[in-house]
């Protein structure tokens, strides 16, 4: 395969210069790169420091024309008299301006502006520096205290009652954040309010956000007999839907929790990851809008489907049980085999952890669905007179979506839920 260059040396030279593999093309690319570098460097220099200059001399129009030819950026040019001009330009262009004016013009710098001159002026004022440092210190010191408490999620528990409880536990306007353990505060709230399903506390500067979720009033409190275990497992859901298993239906939440994943197969999702939902909240709707481009008035505006998909959420569980603080052990007396002495020994931390883990595994197996994935497990020990009270918090990721049938044109009635396999 051959390639013929256009006639004429100019055409060949132009083509060869465009080729990146040739020497001329390499030099041309280097020149273009240098021009781009010079462009951004010049722009940076122009923005860094600018000066206001007074120019005195003859023929002001000629000076301006020469500055345009030399590409000297002038701004805010003002004619004071027939022999004086005032203008703004980057400080780095002052020497070029003097070169254009030569001996016929006298240039006087009136004012400097920009980050550089401002910093120099600031450094000449130690009192201003001390004031700025003092202000920054005060602002930082204020962030170490709680300036406001915002509470959300209250239903049966009043906000005033919750604020009083938080104040008793150490969280109030003006309290120091460093002296407060949020995990212990959450544990205290769980112990004080039996109907709490979830508590979240976080700081945003001086703002303390407290978000709670209460369990349903009709929820079942279940746990091993005699263990003192209690947890809100939600309202029981009927197993047979009303209106048939193939009619239009939404997917609603079976339990309260924080959404982690949504996979809609049919229908439109109404929640996203990170949203907190309660039992009965809509997750995937079975009502889909119809976009009509024919402008017909008698066409329906929506269609009804049986929503399908999977919705996963983090469900918090709370278990409470007690362990004996002391254990009775036989001690050999060394006299006769028929004589045995018993003594009380306090359980070690390792023994408490082993017993608690065994009890937690049994509670998880009895109360948490088998398909659930345990994401977090936390044990808290409260020492009392002769017993150790164990409060365990378990977070499990479960699929919480259930079908809830509805009649098109009417709001969904209570009941009619169907568990999803």
Summarised one tens digit per residue, pLDDT across range 7-62 is 444 444 444 444 444 545 545 555 555 555 555 555 555 556 778 888 888 888 88
Local structure of residue 244 (DSSP, 8 states): -
Rg of the chain over Cα atoms, rounded to whole angstroms, equals 39
CB hemisphere CA count around 115 (13 angstroms): 5
95 vs 6, higher pLDDT: 95
Tens of pLDDT along 267-276?
999 999 989 8
Please state the three-class secondary structure of 270-337 as a single string.
CCCCCCEECCCCEEEECEEECCCCCCCCCCCCEEECECEEEEEEEEEEEEEEEEECEEEEEEECCCCC
Q: What is the DSSP string of 60-87?
A: HHHHHHHHHHTT---EEEEEEETTEEEE
Q: At 393, is the secondary structure helix, strand, or coil?
A: strand
Average pLDDT over residues 318-334: 79
22 vs 101, higher pLDDT: 101
Q: At 308, is the secondary structure helix, strand, or coil?
A: strand
Instruction: Report the pLDDT value the prediction gives residue 421, as an integer from 0 to 100.
Output: 52
69 vs 227, higher pLDDT: 69
162 vs 341, higher pLDDT: 162
Q: Are strands 207-214 and 148-152 parallel, antiparallel or unpaired?
A: parallel
Best-predicted range by mean pLDDT among 94-108, 201-215, 388-402? 388-402
CA distance 10 to 183: 80
Name the least confident of 6-15, 117-126, 172-181, 357-366.
Answer: 6-15
- Residue listed under structure tokens 């769980």: 190
Which domains, and CATH codes, for the chain? 1-48 (no CATH), 51-124 (3.30.70.260), 144-214 (3.10.20.310), 317-399 (no CATH)
Average pLDDT over residues 389-416: 78
Average pLDDT over residues 198-213: 86
Q: How confident is the model at residue 224 (pLDDT cuts 50, 70, 90)?
A: very low
CA distance 377 to 274: 20
Instruction: Report the pLDDT value the prediction gives residue 2, as an integer from 0 to 100.
Output: 43
CA angle 188, 373, 366 (to 5 degrees): 70
Q: How confident is the model at residue 295 (pLDDT cuts 50, 70, 90)?
A: low
Beta strands in 82-155 (DSSP E): 84-90, 105-113, 148-152
* Residue pair 400/421 in contact by the 8 Å Cβ criterion: no
* Residue pair 109/56 in contact by the 8 Å Cβ criterion: no
CA distance 116 to 131: 20
Local structure of residue 385 (DSSP, 8 states): S
213 vs 150, higher pLDDT: 150
Instruction: Report the pLDDT value the prediction gives residue 261, as an integer from 0 to 100.
Output: 93
Q: How confident is the model at residue 231 (pLDDT cuts 50, 70, 90)?
A: very low
CA-based nearest residue to 375, from 417, 335, 316: 316
203 vs 123, higher pLDDT: 203
- Residue listed under structure tokens 């009927």: 238
CA distance 237 to 221: 16
Q: How confident is the model at residue 123 (pLDDT cuts 50, 70, 90)?
A: confident
Name the least confident of 63-72, 150-159, 235-244.
Answer: 235-244
Q: How confident is the model at residue 211 (pLDDT cuts 50, 70, 90)?
A: confident
Checking if the pLDDT of 399 tops 90, the result is yes
Instruction: Find residue 202's DSSP bridge partners.
Output: 209
Q: Would the pTM of this model clear 0.85, i.e. be above it?
A: no
Instruction: Report the pLDDT value the prediction gives residue 41, as an integer from 0 to 100.
Output: 54
Checking if the pLDDT of 395 tops 70, the result is yes
Q: How confident is the model at residue 311 (pLDDT cuts 50, 70, 90)?
A: very high
């Amino acid at each position: 395969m051959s390639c013929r260059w256009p006639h004429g040396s100019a055409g060949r030279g132009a083509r060869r210069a465009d080729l990146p593999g040739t020497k001329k093309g390499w030099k041309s690319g280097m020149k273009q790169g240098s021009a781009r570098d010079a462009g951004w460097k010049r722009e940076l220099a122009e923005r860094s420091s600018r000066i206001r200059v007074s120019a005195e001399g003859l023929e002001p129009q000629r000076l301006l024309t020469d500055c345009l030819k030399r590409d000297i950026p002038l701004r805010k040019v003002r004619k004071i008299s027939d022999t004086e001009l005032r203008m703004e330009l980057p400080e780095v262009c002052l020497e070029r301006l003097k070169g254009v004016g030569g001996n016929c013009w006298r240039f006087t710098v009136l004012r400097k502006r920009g980050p550089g001159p401002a910093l120099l002026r600031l450094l000449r004022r130690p009192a201003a520096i001390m004031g700025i440092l003092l202000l920054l210190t005060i602002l930082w010191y204020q962030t170490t205290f709680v300036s406001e408490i915002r509470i959300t999620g209250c239903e049966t528990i009043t906000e005033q009652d919750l604020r009083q409880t938080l104040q008793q536990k150490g969280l109030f306007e003006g309290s120091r954040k460093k002296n407060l353990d949020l995990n212990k505060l959450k544990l205290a709230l769980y112990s004080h309010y039996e109907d709490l399903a979830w508590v979240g506390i976080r700081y945003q500067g001086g703002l303390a956000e407290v978000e709670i979720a209460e369990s349903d009033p009709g929820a079942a409190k279940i746990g091993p007999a005699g263990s003192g275990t209690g947890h809100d497992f939600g309202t029981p859901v009927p197993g047979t839907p009303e209106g048939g298993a193939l009619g239009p239906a939404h997917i609603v939440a079976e339990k309260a929790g924080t959404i982690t994943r949504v996979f809609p197969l049919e229908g439109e999702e109404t929640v996203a990851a990170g949203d907190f939902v309660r039992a009965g909240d809509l997750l995937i709707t079975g009502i889909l809008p119809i976009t009509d481009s024919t402008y017909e008035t008698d066409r329906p505006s929506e269609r009804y489907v049986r929503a399908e998909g999977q919705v996963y959420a983090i469900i918090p569980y709370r278990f409470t049980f007690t362990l004996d603080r002391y254990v009775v052990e036989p001690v050999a007396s060394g006299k006769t085999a028929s004589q045995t002495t018993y003594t009380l020994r306090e359980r070690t931390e390792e023994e408490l952890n082993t017993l608690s883990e065994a009890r937690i595994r049994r509670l998880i197996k009895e109360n948490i669905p088998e398909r659930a994935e345990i994401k977090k497990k936390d044990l808290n020990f409260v020492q009392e007179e002769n017993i150790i009270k164990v409060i365990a918090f378990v977070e499990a990721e479960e699929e919480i979506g259930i079908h809830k049938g509805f009649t098109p044109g009417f709001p969904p009635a209570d009941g009619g839920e169907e568990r999803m396999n």
